Structure 1
Amino acid sequence: MDDFLLGLVQVLAPDTLLYMAFGSLAGIIAAAIPGFTVTMAIVLTLPLTFTMPPLQGISVMLSVYVGGYTGGLISAALLGIPGTPSSVATTFDAFPMARNGEPGRALSLGIWASFFGTIVSTLVLIVAAPPLAVIAVRLGPWEYFSLIVFALTIVASLVGASLLRGLIAGVIGLAIAVIGPDPMMGRPRFTFDIEMLAPGLPFLVVLIGIFAISQLMSELENPAAVKEDAALISGRIDFHTWTVMKEVLARPGNLVRSSLLGVFVGAVPGAGGSIANLLTYDQAKRASKTPEKFGTGIADGVVASEAGNSATSGGGLIPLIALGIPGSAVDAILMGSLMVHGISVGPRLIMEHGDLVYGMFIAMVVASLMMLIICLTTMRFFLRVTEIPKFVIVPVVTAFCVVGAFALNNRITDVYLLGFVGLLGYVLKKLDYPLAPLVLGVILGPIAETNLRRALMSDADWTTFFTRPISAFLLIAAVLSIAWSARAYMKGRKSMLAPSQS
């Protein structure tokens, strides 16, 4: 109790609350800009915390962390461009909802879902950190590979109207992922002696090009609409905050399931919000009585994706606090911040620095409340984006995309790759190929390859994937997932053909 009260006093100090408020706002704004990820925002914040007390500095970084997971929603809903990799699935329903004249509802749904997802993950973090961390750390490369195989089955629910086109898009994503240095040995492959391809295609460049550049090119298809000062989104900017909150809470099954799944994915080192965002969306679609409505602007899709990605913030802290193992790049930066202050992160952290650990729990709750307040009070400002004419917003957003792509590695070749990938995304979009499977392949391909090779280097016997219980369970779940998706797809095709035949 003494450690809890000591942590509470430090977090609720006026100067700490002020710094956290600025950190939350900075995280929201940074994540709303395509190409500027949560990790980049945390890295920029780190030097500013060196002169602060340990708990104050970690509280500020946690506020940037929580705010960043929500900020990607803004550009996803209003521009159809995921601000961060963890908001890819959010675009599937938030943007159509905004295009249907409900931008305020789309933002409100995402904000409230993010808030509740963070709260659920914090509660799980407090109650179940040690046992969940033990499970997460026992996963070897066999389990990681099987987990990615299971995650890849999401492609089956993201294929859109054509199963073949969706699978082709997924294969294109996997092909893009293998261009560049070998992840294990560093040897170049599939570069075709083109110097620009030697470093590979950075994931964020692919993400920005596929979603942002292709969407912006689509907006310029109608020159008349551009000349007439047409806005990107038409509709009322009104929003009913408390009504939407009740709407989110009216979906307890979806909200809790997505949050808990996000916590688990966050607790698995190396997984992160991008996988949780897509996985929770997929599970919500499978559990829905009206899966055909997903992708048209349904509230369940927004709630699932945002609750899932925000819940990874608490999940990622589970192995960090309990075992000293960072769950993601952001958690590694948080770990480095503690080590700068001379605090050893590991199993004895709770016993030796109880006030710090309890303070982190309290800071997560405070950061989520700050994120909620800041988002709700500034929402009208963000919604003004819907009134900006296309001839203004398209070049401005394009400039942000180019700067974001260049800032990743300070390579001008990444800007060229951005243009080529954007053109590819535009062509695929015009040919009615879904873009989500492509991005999923780019995200999961390298992780699957790395863990497969690690597993085979440790034990050349491939049957180990089936003899290890957790790995076998995940592979069986993958087979069942494919079978379920194929059944649902065929059932949907039959229902679509039945009216035309009659």
Structure 2
Amino acid sequence: MLSNILLGLETALTPITLAYCFLGVFLGTLVGVIPGIGPLTAISMLLPLTYHLDPTTSLIMLAGIWYGTGYGGSTAAILVNIPGTTSSAISCLDGHPMALQGRGAAALFMTSIASFVGGMVGIILLMIFAPTIARYALGFGSAEYFSLMVLGLVAASAVSDGPVAKALAMVTLGLICGTVGIDLYTGDERLTFGILELSNGIGLVPLAMGVFGIAEVVANAQSGTRRQFDRKSLSLRSMQLPRDEVKRSIMPILRGSGIGSFFGALPGTGPSVASFFAYALEKRISATPERFGKGAIEGVTAPESANNAADQTAFVPTLTLGIPGSATMALMLGALTIHGIAPGPKLLSDQPALFWGLIMSFWVGNLMLLVLNIPMIGLWVRLLLVPSRFLYPAILMFIAIGTLTLHNNTFDIWLVVGFGLLGILMRWLSFPAAPLLLGFVLGPMMEEHFRRAMLLSRGDLATFIERPVSATVLALALGMLIWGVISHRRAARSKQLSTAQD
């Protein structure tokens, strides 16, 4: 291990590698702040540059963009309630209320710390357990993945306040939206209504930008009141948090880092799923769950540490198994194959300088991001002082540009508008948006693994309880559902008692 670390440091600390690592994390932060663009677009644009670089340097630069967006994506989510990346969407729930309370700088500061710690935990686990994690991840079958998806959908009811029925309704709507397009097994079109552009399904970016972005802009513009912020809340001193909030953040950061490390190592899940799970867990185990959605610091630190830990461990299946967990990781594999390097179990032995140089660059890149982001918090928070007549059109412009550049298809703009109208209607009727997004993300994967498990078991549903891991996860989902119903009834009963006493 020591010789591998020294080899990695020797590779990662060369001047040219440091320069491209900084370029990657800087572009990643910038891309993350701009809503709707995301790492996939930035990496796609810079992929031709890798033809002129050696494979280690090019991969370090592209990886810097990947995990740099995890830092920058939370900025727009916290300040203007528009997630810069899909994995930072959950940070809107508590981060934006903190900004409205004049604590935007404190929220961003804790986000940077949580992201750094989550990234460090993910790197350490990646260094120590990469072969073991890869072996266990390879042993997961469709039954286990389906059970994990069920657990995620059950956890979605814990993500938001209000009646569980409304949260489950939004999960169902997300599942329906996720089934739009061509069925991979039969080739039949589903819910396309004869619209050719829907054959490839609904994109995650148009849905997230519409439900979160457009709805937020319209809601603020409709209120007609300009938010007033104390300029003292924009100073470096305002980053300081009360000691009790710092203490409350320690365990959520560690739990979120563990959750993110686990889900990042599983192909097909990644930071978005990890952040939702981390938030749901913190709300379930909290003694005061009513604080969530109103500016709870745990609701910011847990998902941020989770998505950054997942960003690091996502390289486990990509490099050691050759299985990309996302489209972005597929581009990473493309950068390797351009140089004739085949990812897989032999990569660690055939290309030790590349593998350990990349791992050591994660340490360097995360330190760069910490130094880069904390001094810029004051600059980002000053976005709140921009007059609404300039801020809202700029946000809509970035949403349109980010959506259009994904597939260069104007139909995606109309999807954003449609989901924006849906988001406005949901706000009027007090339906939560986060379960809709989670149902949309998990639904297609859940359907695919269910049908695959049914094919492998020849239609025997017992396969989900005969496999020990799958049965354990389903038992956890059932326990969480029962716990949610009981806690909701207790909360409603205590509210009635307090109302009667008043």
100-109 or 405-414: bigger deviation: 405-414
Deviation of 1:234 after TM superposition, in Å, equals: 6.1
Give the corresponding residue for 1:365.
Answer: 363
Residues in 1 aligned to 2:47 and 2:205: alpha-carbon distance in whole angstroms: 22
Question: Which stretch has the larger CA shift, 441-450 or 167-176?
Answer: 167-176
Query: What amino acid does structure 2 have at the position aligned with 1:68?
Result: T
User: Could you report, residue by residue, the CA deviation over 1:270-306 in whole angstroms, capped at 9, with x for unpaired residues?
Assistant: 0011101110011111122211101111111110010
Is residue 303 of structure 2 the alignment partner of residue 305 of structure 1?
Answer: yes
TM-score by length of 1: 0.95
Instruction: Identify if the C-alpha distance between structure 1 residues 14 and 444 changes in structure 2 by more than 3 Å, giving closer, same or farther.
Output: same
Aligned residue in 1 for 2:390: 392
Task: Map residues 92-241 of structure 1 onto 2, 5 A cutoff.
Answer: 92-223=93-224, 225=225, 230-231=226-227, 236-240=233-237
The whole-number CA distance in structure 2 between the counterparts of 1:242 and 1:415 is 37
Whole-angstrom distance in 1 between the partners of 2:89 and 2:239: 26
Shift of the 20–253 alpha-carbon distance from structure 1 to 2, 3 Å rule, reads same
In the alignment, which of 286, 304, 318 is matched to residue 284 of structure 2? Answer: 286
Please name the residue that 1:483 is paired with. Answer: 482
Identity of aligned residues (%): 33
> Match for 2:497: what amino acid?
A
CA–CA distance in structure 1, aligned partners of residues 46 and 117 of structure 2: 25
Indicate the residue corresponding to 1:43 in structure 2.
44
Secondary structure of the residue aligned to 2:222 is: coil
Q: How far off its partner does 1:243 sit? A: 4.2
- Asked if structure 1 preserves the Cα contact closer than 8 Å seen for 2:94 and 2:296, the reply is yes
Give the deviation of 1:314 after TM superposition.
1.7
> SS at the partner of 1:402?
helix
Task: Return the alpha-carbon distance in structure 1 between the equivalents of residues 327 and 121 of structure 2.
Answer: 22
Deviations 1:59-81 (A, max 9, x none): 11121112111111010011101
Query: Matches of 1:21 and 1:389 in 2, distance apart?
Result: 32
1:365-390 per-position Cα deviation (integer Å, ceiling 9, x unaligned): 11111111111122222122111011
Indicate the larger mover: 68-77 or 247-256.
247-256
Secondary structure at 1:269's aligned position in 2? coil
Structure 2 counterparts to residues 59-70 of structure 1, below 5 A: 59-70=60-71
CA distance in 2, matches of 1:290, 1:127: 36
Deviation at 1:248, TM superposition (A): 4.8
* Range with bigger deviation, 80-89 or 373-382: 373-382
Contact 1:183-1:446 at 8 Å conserved across structures: no
Question: In structure 2, what is the Cα distance between the partners aligned to 1:489 and 1:365?
Answer: 43
After TM superposition, give the deviation of residue 458 of structure 1 in Å: 2.1
The 8 Å contact of residues 232 and 390 in structure 1, kept in 2 or not, is answered as no
Matches within 5 A, 1:324-473: 324-459=322-457, 460-473=459-472
Contact 1:112–1:248 (CA under 8 A) maintained in structure 2 = no
Matched to 1:87, the amino acid is: S
In structure 2, runs of 5+ residues without a counterpart are none
- Number of residue pairs the alignment of both structures matches: 497
The unaligned stretches of length 5 or more in structure 1 are none
Local SS of the residue matching 2:315: helix
The 1-side partners of 2:39 and 2:288 are apart by 33
Provide Cα deviations, 1:132-167, integer angstroms capped at 9, x if missing partner. Answer: 111111111111111100110112212412222222
| 1:222, distance to aligned residue in structure 2 (A) | 2.9
Superposition CA RMSD, Å? 1.9
Task: Report the Cα offset of residue 127 of structure 1.
Answer: 0.9
